[in-house]
């Protein structure tokens, strides 16, 4: 048994004045509260990702329930899309499978509603691309999110310059809008994200698409320090997180670790009926249990 994963120390406020929240910024959310709780407990928040409808919606629902019982801190549920430009082969494959099963954005909302009805209180963020949301209607999507218990959205192909409409809808309905930053993000880009984001900032760990990696980038600490200099929001690191050692490394500099492809690849070795228990065991392994 390895030692529990330690979280980074609570940071001091940035030395430079961090951008003030834009007018209408939401009050502290369930997502922010989850990160605050994990920090107070001295551990790194674990944020598992599952694609809704892969291998089927019933299995997704059962797996989320099992992961919640195992101590997941924040869920990212992927909305299937035909052209997921930020995703590697694993999540592309799951999106294609879910689309073939008929899973759409409305089904993702319904899934979250069922999970809330079954007592899941863990924050849930829908991660998907902008086209399905535009087709659904941005205000309608934010309103439905509030109605069923979706806490926010991550939209990888929505740049800050084009986010006004969705941001306004999210704020009107008390939902978080989480933005992605990358090692290549300029300081101006980081500040623009800091002015608009709520819940947390998703820090892509590398230049590339999603997928499990053997090692994290050596430049990760310096990059995260640049992000930390402009915001007090929790930082969650994703893309390439696959082991307890990765979680430990991330936790020294950030608040949370997103595990996606590694979890999905692991679950693919099990039958749908066995996947919930396998997911719970994998999450406990990431904690070093």
The residues assigned a catalytic role are: 76, 87
* Cα torsion 278, 55, 154, 175: sign: negative
Rounded alpha-carbon distances, angstroms, from residue 282 to 87, 134, 149, 265: 21, 35, 26, 11
d(CA 154, CA 168): 15
Paired tokens of 27: 């009050």
Rounded-to-integer distance, Cα 198 and Cα 179, Å: 8
- DSSP, residue by residue, 243-278: SHHHHHHHHTT-SEEEE-HHHHHHHTTS-GGGHHHH
- Collapse the DSSP code of 288 into the 3-class scheme (helix H, G, I; strand E, B; otherwise coil) and give the result: coil
What's the token pair of residue 134? 């535009």
DSSP string for residues in 163-186: -HHHHHHHHHTT-EEE-EE-TT--
| Of 263, 253, 281, 260, nearest in space to 5 by CA | 253
Rounded CA gap, 11 and 141, in Å?
34
């Amino acid at each position: 048994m390895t030692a529990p994963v330690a979280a980074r120390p609570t940071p001091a406020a940035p030395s430079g004045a961090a951008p003030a929240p834009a007018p209408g910024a939401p009050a502290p959310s369930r997502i922010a509260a989850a990160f605050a709780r994990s920090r107070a407990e001295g551990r790194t928040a674990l944020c598992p990702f599952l694609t809704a409808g892969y291998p089927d919606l019933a299995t997704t629902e059962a797996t989320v329930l099992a992961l919640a019982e195992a101590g997941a801190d924040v869920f990212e549920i992927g909305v299937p899309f035909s052209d997921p430009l930020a995703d590697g082969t694993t999540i592309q494959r799951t999106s294609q499978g879910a689309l073939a099963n008929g899973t759409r954005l409305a089904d993702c909302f319904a899934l979250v509603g069922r999970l809330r009805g079954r007592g899941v209180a863990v924050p849930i963020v829908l991660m998907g691309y902008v086209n399905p949301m535009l087709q659904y209607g941005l205000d309608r999507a934010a309103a439905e999110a509030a109605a069923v218990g979706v806490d926010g959205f991550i939209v990888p192909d929505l740049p800050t310059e084009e986010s006004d409409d969705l941001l306004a809808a999210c704020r009107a309905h008390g939902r978080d809008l989480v933005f992605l930053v990358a090692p290549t993000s300029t300081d101006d880009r980081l500040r623009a994200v800091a002015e608009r984001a709520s819940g947390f900032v998703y820090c892509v760990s590398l230049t590339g698409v999603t997928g499990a990696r053997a090692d994290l980038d050596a430049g990760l600490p310096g990059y995260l320090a640049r992000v930390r200099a402009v915001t007090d929001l929790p930082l969650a690191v994703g893309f390439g997180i696959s082991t307890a050692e990765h979680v430990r490394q991330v936790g020294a500099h950030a608040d949370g670790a997103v595990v996606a492809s590694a979890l999905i690849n692991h679950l693919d070795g099990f039958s749908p009926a066995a996947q919930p228990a396998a997911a719970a065991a994998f999450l406990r392994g990431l904690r070093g249990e």
